Chain A
């Protein structure tokens, strides 16, 4: 089945540094990928929609200059958390719609990245 790979699975960084998270669709092409964030005991909150070859679309309240998204190819999207602060510590998950076209195809998720900013 469709597989989405996310790397790294966990990262600890110091406050003020930047962290890059990669999301790859392994056996299908994904023109659109979605980045979610989950706080403990909370729902998955959509941060942005990543479009191959164009600018990402950010949800209200998400700082585009802080969370840089690059979708340079049909199989890779990256999320860079710039100048990270402790409040950015969270579980970040990427997803892509499966090989079937249209909105009927379920989203497939990466295993997520646990970011801890000290």
Chain B
């Protein structure tokens, strides 16, 4: 049973437009959420995070929105750039000590010039 779901395996967006990547979770104990970016044959790179006390966190072109009632979060990238093309993983954890992360299956974003 997947606790973190990314239902879109891939997404194509034109350069300059907004990319919206979605993530749903089922475990109500999760209260800390992260997005990672991964290039082929490399480890994931931390992008942005949000805790459950917030509904939005912004860092440059990247904004993460959290809707706790819907157990849904999304990553917005605007404007999208070709270098953003990668696999994006949504991850979640419960704030109960040094707990590992639970990952979604990832969404492959392709930004077309």
| Cβ contacts under 8 Å, B49 to chain A | 104, 106
1/0 per residue, CB under 8 A from A, across B11-55: the answer is 000000000000000000000101010000111111001010000
| Cβ contacts under 8 Å, B45 to chain A | 109
Cross-chain pairs A/B with CB under 8 angstroms, 23 sampled: A34-B101, A36-B103, A43-B103, A44-B89, A45-B103, A49-B100, A95-B43, A97-B98, A103-B32, A103-B93, A103-B96, A103-B98, A104-B95, A106-B46, A107-B46, A107-B91, A107-B101, A109-B44, A110-B43, A111-B41, A111-B43, A112-B42, A112-B43
| Cβ contacts under 8 Å, A43 to chain B | 4, 89, 103-106
B60 on the interface (CB 8 Å rule)?
Answer: no
B51 touches A114 (CB 8 A): no
Select which of A42, A102, A112 is within 8 A of B41 by beta carbon. A112
1/0 per residue, CB under 8 A from A, across B83-98: the answer is 0000001010111111
- Tally of chain B residues near chain A (CB < 8 A): 29
CA distance A6 to B42 in the complex (A): 10
B32 touches A34 (CB 8 A): no
- Tally of chain A residues near chain B (CB < 8 A): 30
**Which residue of chain A has the shortest Cβ distance to B4 in the bound complex?**
A43
CA distance A9 to B99 in the complex (A): 26
| Cβ contacts under 8 Å, A106 to chain B | 34, 46, 49
**Which residue of chain B has the shortest Cβ distance to A36 in the bound complex?**
B103
